[in-house]
Chains A and B, each alone.
Chain A
Amino acid sequence: MMKEIRVHARAGQGAITTATILANAAFEDGKYALTFPTFGAARIGAPMNAFVRISDAPIRIRSQIYTPDYVLVQDPTLMRGYDVVTGLKQDGLAVINSTRNPSELGLKTAAKVLTVSASQIAQEFMGRADRVNTAVIGAFVAASGELTLKALEKAINTRFSGKAAESNWKALVQAYNEVKNRGNGL
């Protein structure tokens, strides 16, 4: 069974890091993983995607992801002019960094939409509101049940060290708990 994740961000916001952490965690969980970004204008701030495939079997497909099971949106301003949920499977899930309620976003999808205040969490733990990736991952894992926290902790410590590893892990756990505490899974 293959699961496909599409990350939306602006270049420089760490979407590749998000994808790398997810892939490494999947690998820690004993699965195959494939992750790659799109490169367009190659300019900081330009909208870009990173893609992750996770599977129990070796992954042969190399093309971009058009019908994702999950969509992660790191920057809410991307929803202006971009249909971030395009192709999202009906039984899929979108995780959006936003302080608003999902119903206020006006996303055209039958899939579940979850919002998380990742910028605030990033500000609190990293002192920078744009380091949202680990908070988005925490919310995603809480709502989707994909990946284990143990694997994610290992992946974060592979990617970061020292204070950065510590604060990213705290941000991830904070978002994870926030979503879990909402009770209804979203």
Chain B
Amino acid sequence: MLGSKAGTQILDGNHAAAVGAKLSRVQVIAAYPITPQSPVTEKLSEYVEGGNLKAEYVAVESEHSALAVCSSASLVGARTFTASSSHGLAYMHEMLHWVAGTRLPVILACVNRAIGAPWNVLNDQQDSISQRDTGWIQIYARTNQEILDSVIQAYKIAETVYVPVMVCYDGYILSHTEMPVDVPSPRDVDSFLPPYKPHTILDPANPRNYNLVTLANPRVNAEGVLCHGYMEIRYLLQEALQNAGETIASVGREFGGLFGRSYASMLWEYSLDDAEIVIVAMGSLAMEAIVAADTLRDEGHRVGVLGLRVFRPFPKSDVVTALKKARLVVVFDKNISYGSEGATCSEIKSALYGSGANAVIRNFVVGLGGRDIKARELAGAVNKSLPALKEGVLNDEYPEWICHI
């Protein structure tokens, strides 16, 4: 029984994201509406307009400007929030690089949607996966509760490691789906997330230059101090992401201690203890996969689920540990790196290389452009992969698509 627990509300994913931003006491919001993200911006502008959120809502003419506004606001010390989807996120691409390169703790909610052509407003994860190499931390939610909780944690993570965070959640499947969400009290969130204290801000009283043309090699500045070249600055971004896992886990653990929902791992594990077969999925699909795993267990197979919560930084060593006993790994991707395979499958293979793991890996591309994914299709794909286990063919060059061709 759930009961009508105090604080629990029926919220859709977009509403949960907006509440997360509100509870995080964001100070500047700039966003441009796009399906299926629009209700996030509507909700936040409503909060600001109604006096329920002391923030500046900047209406802009494009996503590119939205992130430029967040970038500038962050540079002067404000806690900032934006949200987008699909073509909107693609249009932000340049600014995504700028924000990460400038090491600004901006938070972006990406409501995952397919990208044209052909025109499609429905869900897959091609949009955020296409931004994989911009230097943002990427967290994926399976439920609306995880959306709300992840937005709040994202600020603490970003403001600790100075890397922006993208909280990604599936369009419609979460964004427009209503489910119970436990909404924490503002007081509890305040105790978890203190106001943002930037280590340095752009201040007219103390003029400085930021983001100058930086040459290939380190060189001395006007004061005679040897400064980093481009490569050193970029190395520090990589180092920050490499080390971010510890912060993501410790912030998740602290969150769990306060709110009773722990996010201490970058992975979600289900029935892995005795699992020979492991289904890997990211986002809401990782929840549907549990239903498939239960079905397969009823049929006598030892199946577990590995849900990817954090895609960047990719939790390589955790994945190796989680898949140590697996003989068959079936990876489902709602994205495709054309000419290669699903992005998460590549990561899994890369993580396992040299680990001693000898599992058969099969990759299925599913759910592009909103194609509904049934649990029995996931189970069917696992069944279809079983002969490979006997044949011992570890790798397939290309993924299989669950579609009508």
Contact = CB atoms under 8 A, between A and B. Distances in A.
B267 interface: no
A43 B372 CA distance: 20
Contacts of B173: 36, 62
Interface in B301-332: none
B4 interface: yes
A105 interface: no
A91 B158 CA distance: 53
B340 to A, nearest CB: 27
A63 B122 contact: no
A172 interface: no
Contact of B176 (A36, A59, A61): A36
Interface string A14-37: 000001100110011011111111
A33 B3 contact: no
Contacts of B285: 62
B288 interface: yes
Interface residues of A, number: 24
A87 B35 CA distance: 30
B222 interface: no
Given A62-B177, A63-B372, A63-B374, A32 B291 contact: no
Interface of B is mostly: loop
Nearest to A35: B178
B292 to A, nearest CB: 10
Interface string B328-347: 00000000000000000000
B10 interface: yes
Nearest to B36: A39
Contacts of A64: 372
A163 interface: no
A61 B375 contact: yes
A64 B35 CA distance: 20
A31 B287 CA distance: 19
Given A30-B3, A30-B4, A34-B178, A63 B288 contact: yes
Contacts of A34: 177-179
Given A36-B173, A63-B375, 15 more contacts: A20-B178, A27-B2, A27-B8, A30-B3, A31-B2, A33-B10, A33-B179, A35-B179, A36-B172, A36-B176, A37-B172, A42-B121, A62-B284, A62-B287, A63-B288
5 contacts: A19-B178, A27-B4, A35-B179, A61-B288, A66-B374
Nearest 9 A-B pairs (CB), nearest first? Answer: A36-B177, A35-B178, A63-B374, A60-B287, A34-B179, A62-B288, A64-B372, A30-B3, A62-B284
Interface of B: 1-4, 8, 10, 35-36, 121-122, 172-173, 176-180, 284-285, 287-288, 290-291, 372-375
